[in-house]
Amino acid sequence: MYAFNYHRPDTLEAAAAALAAAEDGRVMAGGQTLIPTLKQRLASPSDVVDLATVPGLGGVRREGDAIVVGAMVRHAEVAASAEVRAAIPALASLADGIGDPQVRNCGTIGGSIVNADPAADYPAAVVGLGATVRTDRRTIVGDDFFTGLFETALDEGEIVVSVSFPVPRRAAYVKFPNPASRYAVVGVMVADTASGIRVAVTGAGDSVFRVGAMETALAGNFSADAIRNVAVSQDALNEDIHASAEYRAHLVGVMARRAVAAAAG
Amino acid sequence: MAENGIGASVPRTEDHRFLTGTGSYTDDSNLPHQTYAAFVRSTHAHATVALDTSAAAAAPGVVAVLTGTDLAGDQVGSLICGWVVTGKDGEPHKAPPHPALAADTVRHVGDAMAIVVAESARAARDAAELVKVDYTPLPAVVSMRDALAEGAPQIHAEAPGNLCYDWEIGDRAATDEAFGRARHVARLDLVNNRLIPNAMEPRAAIGDYNPATGDYTLRLTSQNPHIHRLVLAAFVQIAPEHKLHVIAPDVGGGFGSKIFIYQEETAVLWAAGKIGRPVKWTADRSESFVADAHGRDHETHVELALDEGGRFLGLRVETRANMGAYLSTFASCVPSYLYGTLLQGQYTTEAIYCEVKAVFTNTTPVDALRGAGRPEATYLIERIVDQAAHDMGIDPAELRRRNFIPADAFPYPTKVALEYDSGNYGLALDRALELADYNGFAARRAESEAKGRLRGIGLSAYIEACGIAPSQVVGSLGAGVGLWESGGIRFNPTGNVLVYTGSHSHGQGHETTFAQLVSDYLGVPFENIEVVHGDTEKTPFGMGTYGSRSLAVGGSALVKAMDKIIAKGRKIAAFSLEASEEDIEFSGGDFKVAGTDRSMNIAEVAFSAYVPHNYPLDELEPGLEETGFYDPANFTFPAGTHVCEVEVDPETGTTEIVHWVAVDDFGNVINPMIVEGQVHGGVAHGVGQALLEGCAYDADGQLVTGSFMDYTMPRADDLPDLTVETTCTPCPHNPLGVKGCGEAGAIAAPAAVMNAITHALGTGAIDMPATPQAVWRALNQ
């Protein structure tokens, strides 16, 4: 780890100010990606702004037809939340399947979505459930939040405050984990929402994406069979030693069908 | 059976400190005036290099920056390979120089070029990044096929064609003749995948030098501290043996990877002498991936010739074995004498011929890893037997049974230079099939098929040669060392006992097992026994722990020492009880005058030995301390059958192991709980190889699987509950009748898993690791 200035602000404004003043500042939420990256000397920020003591970023609450999760809420808290389990069990189960117990007890939803790892689980929930992301400056529609490989729509110094998930009629998330890292090789969130059927895929591409053809097919017939013949193009899908693009494309279909079956349950 | 004696599942003495975080590992030690080392490592697989260390040397807190040029200037010797394998041509293997710091040419990613010593670990690391390395890349060869190709880039001038040796064992003519008589020949091409050892504790070392006395001390993660001392003294020549004290304290796992004399520990010790201060280095996990010796990495073509009744007439094996960029400490013997000699398996195969080309490549050196050669042998035998069974339409269990060496045929001389001492292979197979409900498989397969799953069951009837090793035999085959072991027993005046062993425990539980053995043998309460290991100034010279040898060889050395203790105790008791020595009987810790009620406990004898107020000193020597050295008459041959049952999800290719049965013959067992734990660990290791662990390099020689994000270690949820039983044919040639259990699981498991998968898939065209993608491809090709 290289040396850096460490900040532990008491307010969101102070956090934003510390970031603005830093030459190359990084926000730390749960630190489950940042700290390993720092330890391996793969990043050398001038300043790290720790949100641990900033008020107003915690809590899971029901607001009308949505579940609002504070940016600093740990995965384990989402997984165990009675509100989430009652309203969006798919979200609780997704959170319960992230990483290992240590990651789930330290990692946060805000940290996960801001990092925008192409193999992270939460992006599938944000896009698949049609969530909106509230920051210290504005509200960003989930569909617009992830813009590429480790890229989001956030501006420089913008801090995520919470994520609001509309409660779907039914939804399920199924993933195929990387055997080594247990990140998603392919993870699919299928949701039947007030704004229509949504199918969001993480792990397979640079960034989470929706599969329109599946959404259309499911709108008429919400069953696994309805998407059995929907081909997923392997163009632009990720390739690594664990999964070729061809295998990933195949797994998108398998995971989507299993998610539909689970949601239709 | 005594409560804590032989045969009792005594909870492990050492676990309290390990489980409460109070063990003392190398990194837990800190010496006054200690400095910290970081290594500058090659980022290229093959290059010539020029180093500019000026910026690093001027960095804050830096004490010294030492390079391969400095090392050569100090006449520090090359790292060695301790076993010279002679090839078909009668020539010794090629063992090119392997400097602790590469001076002008680097040959694999991670090859160390400089050691930076500083006041803190961070300062050392910061400064290491300031060493400017001017690389002139050379073409790298990564695959063995490329390395052996005509015109391939040469890695060492000393090894033309990148060939370390071309070796053979067995009878080629007899094997050809056997194939000529065959009704059927089964054939397979197999890859035995390269593994990265990944002990929980990374390697670490603290070198220390006392300028006033000229004494060196090296604390390190070693499975064999005396071997480290011997090699660093006699060959690398940093200090003479009597001026070098090597301590291997608590060590968190080895699996072979901590046998070897590596670049880093050598450089740390040398640097400590240069600067006159202690130098500490602890590998981080990324370093471990590129700098710990890897394991396995064979490519093999195997053919099995059978007659019309399915009897094995001949086995023909052609293997390429990857040595990596340099020849590591025992690398040469792994794909030769620890491999070719095991190709008899459990079978009466009439003729065997095996040839092995050992190949240099621009990859991390490869050496012994849990099983070392024997897993590779078992894997190919058990795969080809299943292939033959499939080809000929014979049940795999039945085909094995037809070819087993009969229980009454021991000692059994093999066609590949060994003599099996004892065994009963049919017994283990039958029991394993019963526990696995082999006969009920069809019904279980039907249930799986109803769920859309494929189901398979696979056998592995393995054998290994353990209790390494008779010095006379290994010496005749090129080993530079003897492979006996030492054991010492020291009674204290108060009657408690220190047990010294030249073997080393790095997870195996010697402190418990050896105490049980001594308690049982000498009648001393278990809690009054302390086992001492891992320190060259405390223990007699010993060869260390590997090859499942500690109990068979080290335990037998303790028996020799204890026999001497009893002999001396008998003299003392005879004197004290005023009886003749011949009338003294020893049992249960008491020396008794036969036919009387007069007796002395061994603790009283010990006290007398240290308070010899009235001893006839011309007849009786004070003290009660003895040392034994044991050189085994033969290897031991643990064997058994493992049965693996899998369910495969054809949509994703995911394999789930649903049932595992292990029936192993380890001879006599001292602590059944520890043995079962060793089987569990070994099976996990073997399942890791079969399903998960696949070390991968890209075409440029960069390690693709350089972290746990990509290199899949087995986890608890990858394994089912294991059904573990033992059978017992005692080893006839060591005094304990024991055989060794540390490697069995890793040897048996890969073939059991792969035979189950090929059974489920209906195709043998799949190599390890059988990842979901590999299985999916096999199903869809």
Mean confidence (pLDDT) of chain A: 97
Q: For B121-145, what is each residue's pLDDT tens digit?
A: 999 999 999 999 999 999 999 999 9
User: How far is it, in rounded angstroms, from Cα A26 to Cα B217?
Assistant: 44
Residues in A 157-186 with any Cβ partner in B closer than 8 A: 176, 178-181, 183
Q: DSSP letters along B463-501, please? A: E--BS---HHHHHHTTBSS---EEEEEEE-TTS-EEEEE
Question: For A12-44, how does the pLDDT look when each residue is reduced to its tens digit (9 = 90+)?
Answer: 999 999 999 999 999 999 999 999 999 999 999
For A247, the closest of B694, B709, B776 (CB atoms) is B776
- Rounded distance, CA B307 to CA B334, Å? 32
Contacts of B705 in chain A (CB under 8 A): 180, 241
Tokens coding A42: 């793969």
Measured from the Cβ of residue B554, the count of other Cβ atoms closer than 10 Å reads 28
Chains A, B: CB pairs < 8 Å:
41
Q: Write the ipTM.
A: 0.96
Q: Are B49 and B133 in contact (CB under 8 A)?
A: yes
CB contact A40 to B (< 8 Å): yes
Please answer yes or no on whether A180 and B772 come within 8 Å at the CB atom: no
Instruction: Provide, for chain B, the percentages of residues in helix, strand and coil under a 3-state DSSP scheme, each rounded to the nearest 5.
Output: 30, 25, 45
What three-state secondary structure class fits B37? strand
* Phi and psi angles of residue B77, each rounded to the nearest 5 degrees, phi first: -75, 165
8 Å CB contact of B652 and A254:
yes
Distance from CA of B704 to the nearest CA of A (A): 8
Spell out the SS3 assignment of chain A. Answer: CCCCEEECCCCHHHHHHHHHHCCCEEEECCCCCHHHHHHCCCCCCCEEEECCCCCCCCCEEEECCEEEEECCCEHHHHHHCHHHHHHCHHHHHHHHCCCCHHHHHHCEHHHHHHHCCCCCCHHHHHHHCCCEEEECCCEEEHHHHEEECCEECCCCCCCEEEEEEECCCEEEEEEEECCCCCCEEEEEEEEEECCEEEEEEECCCCCCEECHHHHHHHHHCCCHHHHCCCCCCCCCCCCCCCCCHHHHHHHHHHHHHHHHHHHHC
Q: What is the pLDDT at residue B335?
A: 98
pLDDT of the residue at B596 = 96
> Chain B contacts of A2, Cβ < 8 Å?
126
- The interface residues of chain A toward chain B in range 211-250, judged by CB-CB distance below 8 A, are 240-244, 247, 250
**Domain spanning B484-630, CATH class:** alpha beta
Are the CB atoms for B455 and B444 separated by under 8 Å?
Answer: yes
Q: In chain B, where are the structural domains located? A: 31-138+201-252+258-291, 295-469+634-780, 484-630
Which option is the CATH number for B295-469+634-780: 3.40.50.1100, 3.40.630.30, 3.30.365.10, 1.10.10.60?
3.30.365.10
pLDDT level of residue B190 (50, 70, 90 thresholds) = very high
- Please tell me the predicted confidence (pLDDT) of residue B781: 83
Using an 8 Å CB-CB cutoff, list chain A residues near B704. 241
Region at B709 (left for phi over 0; alpha for psi -120 to 50; beta for the rest) = alpha
Are the C-beta atoms of A155 and A234 separated by less than 8 Å? no
What per-residue confidence (pLDDT) applies to A265?
Answer: 80
Do residue A250 and residue B776 have CB atoms under 8 angstroms apart? yes
Query: 3-class DSSP state for residue B217?
Result: strand
Q: What is the DSSP string of B630-670?
A: E--SS-B--EEEEEEEEEEETTTTEEEEEEEEEEEE-BS-S
* Cβ density class A28-60: b for 16+ within 10 Å, e for less: bbbbbbbeebbeeeebebebbbbbeebeebeeb
- Residue B717's φ and ψ, nearest 5 degrees, are -80, 0
| The two three-digit tokens of residue B117, written as one number | 């010593």
Taken in order A255, A257, A258, A263, the sign of the CA dihedral is: positive
Note the pLDDT of residue A109.
98
Q: Inter-chain contact A247–B694, Cβ cutoff 8 Å?
A: no
Q: What b/e readout covers B723-743, taking b as 16+ CB neighbours within 10 angstroms?
A: ebbbbbbbbebbbbbbbbbbb
Measured between alpha carbons, how far is B351 from A219 in angstroms, rounded to an integer?
68
Q: Which chain B residues contact residue A252 at CB under 8 A?
A: none
In whole angstroms, what is the distance from residue B188 CA to residue B35 CA? 54
CA distance B271 to B268: 5
Name, in order, each residue with C-beta under 8 angstroms of B681's C-beta and a sequence gap of 6 or more: B745
pLDDT tens-digit series, residues A151-193: 999 999 999 999 999 999 999 999 999 999 999 999 999 999 9
Is B710 in Cβ contact with A176 (below 8 Å)? Answer: no
Q: HEC string of B499-520?
A: EEECCCCCCCCHHHHHHHHHHH
Of B694, B705, B773, the CB nearest to A243: B773
Instruction: Determine the residue among A33, A174, A181 to mutate to test chain B binding: the one whose Cβ has the most chain B Cβ atoms within 10 Å.
Output: A181
Report the distance separating Cα B360 and Cα B701, nearest Å.
Answer: 13
Top-level CATH class of A60-264?
Answer: alpha beta
At residue B3 the predicted structure's pLDDT band, cuts being 50, 70 and 90, is confident
The owner of tokens 């160390």 is: B112
Given a contact cutoff of 8 angstroms between Cβ atoms, the answer to whether B362 and B142 are in contact is yes
User: Given pLDDT bands bounded at 50, 70 and 90, which one contains residue A112?
Assistant: very high
Encoded tokens for A202: 């993480």
pLDDT surpassing 80 at residue B2: no
Residue of A nearest to B777 (CA): A247
Q: What is the average pLDDT score of chain B?
A: 97
The whole-number average pLDDT for the span B383-393 is 98
* pLDDT surpassing 90 at residue A239: yes
Q: Which residues of A touch B651 (CB under 8 A)?
A: 254
What residues contact B393, with CB distance under 8 A and at least 6 apart?
none
Spacing of C-alpha B78 from chain mean position? 23
pLDDT digits (tens, 9 = 90+) for A66-102: 999 999 999 999 999 999 999 999 999 999 999 999 9
What is the nearest CA distance from B711 to chain A, expressed in angstroms? 6
Q: In chain B, which residue's Cα lies nearest the Cα of A99?
A: B709
DSSP-assigned beta bridge partners for residue B114: B40, B67
- Cα–Cα distance measured from residue B524 to residue B516, given in angstroms and rounded to the nearest whole number: 9
| Interface touch B712/A179, C-beta < 8 Å | yes
* Contact in structure between A148 and A236 (CB atoms under 8 Å): no
Q: Please compute Rg for chain B using Cα positions.
A: 27
Closest CA to B418 of B339, B484, B316, B479: B339
The three-class DSSP label of residue B702 is coil
B716-742 pLDDT, tens digit per residue, is 999 999 999 999 999 999 999 999 999
Over range B425-440, report the average pLDDT.
98
Residues near B450 by Cβ (< 8 Å), separated by ≥ 6? none
Note whether B423 and B407 are within 8 A (CB).
yes
The alpha carbon of residue A240 is apart from the nearest alpha carbon of chain B, in Å, by 10
Return the domain boundaries, chain A: 5-50, 60-264
Mean pLDDT of B386-410: 98
User: In which region does residue B437 sit, left (phi positive, over 0), alpha (psi from -120 to 50) or beta (all else)?
Assistant: left
B510, B550, B508: which is closest to B530 by C-alpha? B510
Q: What is the pLDDT of residues B223-253, one digit of tens each?
A: 999 999 999 999 999 999 999 999 999 999 9
Write the residue in A1, A179, A254 that is nearest to B771 by C-beta: A179
B551-604 pLDDT, tens digit each: 999 999 999 999 999 999 999 999 999 999 999 999 999 999 999 999 999 999
Residue of chain A whose Cα is closest to the Cα of B776: A247
For residues A214-225, give the mean pLDDT. 97
Cα–Cα distance list, B515 to B505, B520, B742 (Å):
13, 8, 18
Does any CB of chain A come closer than 8 Å to the CB of residue B702? no
Given a contact cutoff of 8 angstroms between Cβ atoms, the answer to whether A218 and A260 are in contact is: yes
d(CA B772, CA B384): 23
Query: How many angstroms separate the CA atoms of A202 and A184, rounded?
Result: 7
Closest CA to B624 of B572, B697, B581, B679: B572
Pick the CATH number of B31-138+201-252+258-291 from 3.90.1170.50, 1.10.760.10, 3.40.50.970, 3.40.50.620: 3.90.1170.50
- In terms of Cβ atoms closer than 10 Å to its own Cβ (0-12, 13-18, 19+), residue B565 is buried
Query: Residue A113 is encoded by which pair of tokens?
Result: 């979505």
Q: pTM of the predicted model, to two decimals?
A: 0.97
Q: Which residues of A102-126 are buried (b: 16+ CB within 10 A; e: fewer)?
A: ebbebbbbbbbbbbbbbbbbbbbbb
A241–B705 CB contact, under 8 Å: yes
Q: Rounded to an integer, what distance in angstroms lies between the CA atom of residue B566 and that of residue B572?
A: 10
Do A247 and B712 lie within an 8 Å CB cutoff? no
Q: Would strands B215-220 and A132-135 be described as parallel, antiparallel, or unpaired?
A: unpaired
Q: Which of B194, B33, B60 is nearest to B125 (CA)?
A: B60
> Is B773 within 8 Å of A181 when comparing Cβ atoms?
no
Q: Which helix (H) or strand (E) holds B191?
A: strand B184-192
Which residue in chain B has the smallest CA separation from A119?
A: B709
Query: What's the rounded Cα separation, in Å, for the pair B234 and B263?
Result: 16
Q: For residue B50, give the amino acid letter.
A: A
Give the 3-state secondary structure of residue B319.
Answer: strand
- B711 and A179: CB-CB below 8 Å? no
Q: Does the pLDDT value for residue B474 go beyond 60? A: yes
- Looking at residues B605-622, what average pLDDT do you find? 94
Fold of the domain spanning A5-50:
3.30.43
pLDDT at residue number B350? 98
User: CA-to-CA distance for B640 and B432, rounded, in angstroms?
Assistant: 9
Residue B386, SS3 per DSSP: helix
